């Protein structure tokens, strides 16, 4: 009757990029690069970028692997597993019938009703979109016995026609949207084992930041399990291309000296200010232009506006706090979606709760912090330099 399907592929759709006017080329190139990286370990996968779309070709039995990775690429709004045919009505009809039968076999409920949605990017195609949908619809109805239902159909067969190909699909899956990671520059995520900072990293990667992570480790007060946990969180973020490298900074010694230098109520603020100084140094070395934290307004005593002001005062880089307005429930829901929640929920020790009284200061002042820091024999800068120099690097890719 007609030519067999040419090949299997994943059709990738992007949305927000269209808003970017003159920068569009850079965004599309970064997106294509990120997509290539995402499917690099899928055998036989090949990425093509014919005008305004991205198509990932793969052997039929690798399409699901490719989809699982593409669902995690920022900048994509949705993906569809497609059959690519010639730009030929009969080939498209045959592929649509096959796709409909396969969809019903996977889920019989979808056999209740159907519709066909067609789009042409090449207006030289001999049929209008509506005429193509009607012709394909008639063939699918004849082959399956399904009734057509234009609104609320159980199954939608999608068709997109370009100058060289037809793409036929029965499913569309959501992708995270946002901007391709890297298009907003590079940042450094302060990553702890808690629920918040992984989500903060994910949200900033979704706005186009590429990130490295920095974890402050305080053995033996904090066990190796806590570090393993942060490494696991980092790997989940890496699967979203939201993290490249994890830096682990040995924080124990400076933390003890800070504890001894100031009043216990100030301890958390002093630890955090030192974290900022060390993060600044790692950011300089990794060319990060901002620091990202999971801080949130008013969630805990250390996160009041006065305390955040005093903490930020120690940082040279812009501090981004994507969760500043989030409810814990919103953050938790997102952590589940990202896949970090179950790891974050494992028991772990938080280095900032070490040596801290039940009622830490809620309005620490910069001058009080500086007075305590002046008691450090080596001075804050030498202390921060020493930790930055001793920081370990873990490659996540």
Does residue 242 belong to the site contacting ligand ATP (CB under 6 A)? Answer: no
Please check whether residue 189 is in contact with residue 240, taking contact to mean a CB–CB distance below 8 angstroms.
Answer: no
- Residues within window 331-350 making contact with Mg ion, judged by CB under 5 A: 350
User: What is the number of residues in the chain?
Assistant: 397
Place of tokens 């929920």: 345
Does residue 352 belong to the site contacting ligand ATP (CB under 6 A)? Answer: yes
Could you tell me which of 116, 122, 124, 65 has the C-alpha nearest to residue 92?
A: 116
Provide the minimum distance between the beta carbon of 302 and ligand ATP in the complex, in angstroms, as a whole number.
5
Could you tell me which of 83, 88, 117 has the C-alpha nearest to residue 101?
A: 83
Segment interacting with Mg ion (CB under 5 A) among 126-134, 162-170, 188-196, 257-265: 188-196
Give whichever of 96 and 351 is closer to ligand ATP, judged by the CB atom: 351
Which tokens in the block code for residue 158? Answer: 């999608």
Does residue 156 belong to the site contacting ligand ATP (CB under 6 A)? Answer: no
Q: From CA 99, how far away is CA 96, in angstroms rounded?
A: 5
Does residue 228 belong to the site contacting ligand ATP (CB under 6 A)? Answer: no
Provide the minimum distance between the beta carbon of 177 and ligand ATP in the complex, in angstroms, as a whole number.
23
Please check whether residue 194 is in contact with residue 344, taking contact to mean a CB–CB distance below 8 angstroms.
Answer: yes
Does residue 187 belong to the site contacting ligand ATP (CB under 6 A)? Answer: no
Give whichever of 134 and 301 is closer to Mg ion, judged by the CB atom: 301
Does residue 341 belong to the site contacting ligand ATP (CB under 6 A)? Answer: no
Contact partner, 300, from Mg ion, ligand ATP, none, Cβ < 5-8 Å per class: ligand ATP
For β-strands 54-57 and 7-14, DSSP reports them as antiparallel
Give whichever of 226 and 241 is closer to Mg ion, judged by the CB atom: 226
Does residue 194 belong to the site contacting Mg ion (CB under 5 A)? Answer: yes
Does residue 204 belong to the site contacting ligand ATP (CB under 6 A)? Answer: no
Collapsed DSSP state (helix, strand, coil) of residue 230: helix
Which one of 191, 242, 254, 372 is in contact with ligand ATP (CB under 6 A)? 191
Which one of 192, 286, 290, 391 is in contact with Mg ion (CB under 5 A)? 192
Provide the minimum distance between the beta carbon of 317 and Mg ion in the complex, in angstroms, as a whole number.
21
Compute the chain's Rg from CA coordinates: 26
Contact partner, 197, from ligand ATP, Mg ion, none, Cβ < 5-8 Å per class: ligand ATP
* Residue 21: Cβ-neighbour burial (10 angstroms; 0-12, 13-18, 19+): exposed
Does residue 333 belong to the site contacting ligand ATP (CB under 6 A)? Answer: no
Please check whether residue 183 is in contact with residue 114, taking contact to mean a CB–CB distance below 8 angstroms.
Answer: no
- Residues within window 283-302 making contact with ligand ATP, judged by CB under 6 A: 293-296, 299-300, 302
Segment interacting with ligand ATP (CB under 6 A) among 139-147, 172-180, 194-202, 237-245: 194-202
Question: % helix / strand / coil in the chain, to the nearest 5?
Answer: 45, 20, 35
Does residue 195 belong to the site contacting ligand ATP (CB under 6 A)? Answer: yes
Does residue 162 belong to the site contacting ligand ATP (CB under 6 A)? Answer: no
| Positive or negative: CA dihedral 109, 114, 120, 126 | positive
Provide the minimum distance between the beta carbon of 311 and ligand ATP in the complex, in angstroms, as a whole number.
9
Q: What angle do CA 204, 210, 212 make, to 5 degrees?
A: 95
Does residue 178 belong to the site contacting Mg ion (CB under 5 A)? Answer: no
Strands (E), 251-391: 290-292, 318-320
In the bound state, the residue with its beta carbon closest to Mg ion is 194
Place of tokens 């004849």: 142
Place of tokens 């804050």: 380
| Region of residue 27 (left: phi > 0; alpha: psi -120 to 50; beta: else) | alpha
Size of the site for ligand ATP (CB under 6 A): 20
Residue 314 backbone dihedrals phi, psi, to 5 degrees? -85, -10
Does residue 215 belong to the site contacting ligand ATP (CB under 6 A)? Answer: yes
Residues of this chain that interact with ligand ATP (CB under 6 A) are: 190-192, 194-197, 214-216, 293-296, 299-300, 302, 350-352
Residues of this chain that interact with Mg ion (CB under 5 A) are: 192, 194, 350
């Amino acid at each position: 009757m007609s030519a067999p399907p040419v090949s299997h592929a994943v059709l990738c759709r992007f949305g927000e990029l269209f808003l970017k006017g003159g920068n569009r080329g850079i965004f599309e190139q970064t997106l294509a690069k990120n997509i290539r990286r995402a499917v690099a370990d899928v055998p036989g996968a090949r990425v093509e970028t014919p005008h305004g779309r991205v198509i990932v070709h793969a052997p039929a039995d690798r399409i699901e692997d490719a989809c699982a990775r593409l669902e995690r690429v920022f900048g994509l709004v949705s993906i569809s597993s497609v059959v690519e045919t010639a730009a030929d009505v009969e080939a498209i009809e045959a592929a649509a019938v096959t796709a409909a039968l396969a969809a019903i076999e996977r889920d019989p409920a979808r056999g209740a009703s159907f519709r066909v949605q067609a789009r042409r990017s090449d207006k030289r195609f001999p049929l209008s979109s509506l005429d193509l949908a009607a012709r394909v619809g008639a063939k699918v109805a004849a082959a399956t016995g399904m009734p057509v239902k234009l609104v609320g159909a159980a199954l939608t067969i999608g068709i997109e026609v370009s100058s060289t190909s037809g793409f036929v699909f029965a499913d569309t899956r959501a992708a995270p949207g946002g901007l391709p990671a890297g298009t907003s520059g590079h940042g450094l995520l302060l990553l702890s084992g808690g629920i918040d900072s992984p989500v903060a990293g994910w949200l900033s990667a979704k706005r186009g930041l590429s990130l490295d992570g920095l974890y402050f480790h305080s053995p033996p007060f904090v066990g190796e399990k806590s570090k393993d946990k942060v490494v696991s969180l980092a790997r989940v973020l890496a699967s979203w291309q939201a993290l490249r490298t994890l830096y682990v900074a040995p924080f124990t010694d400076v933390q003890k000296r800070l504890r001894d230098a100031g009043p216990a109520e100030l301890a958390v603020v002093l630890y955090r200010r030192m974290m900022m100084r060390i993060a600044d140094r790692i950011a300089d070395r990794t060319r990060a232009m901002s620091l990202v934290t999971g801080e949130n307004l008013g969630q805990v005593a250390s996160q009041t506006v006065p305390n955040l002001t005093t903490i930020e005062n120690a940082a040279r880089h812009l501090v981004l706090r994507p969760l500043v307005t989030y409810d814990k429930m919103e953050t938790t829901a997102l952590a589940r979606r990202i896949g970090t929640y179950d790891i974050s929920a494992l028991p772990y020790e938080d280095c900032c709760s070490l040596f801290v009284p039940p009622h830490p200061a809620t309005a620490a002042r910069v001058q009080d912090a500086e007075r305590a820091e002046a008691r450090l024999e080596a001075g804050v800068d030498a202390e921060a330099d020493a930790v930055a120099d001793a920081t370990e690097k873990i490659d996540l890719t």
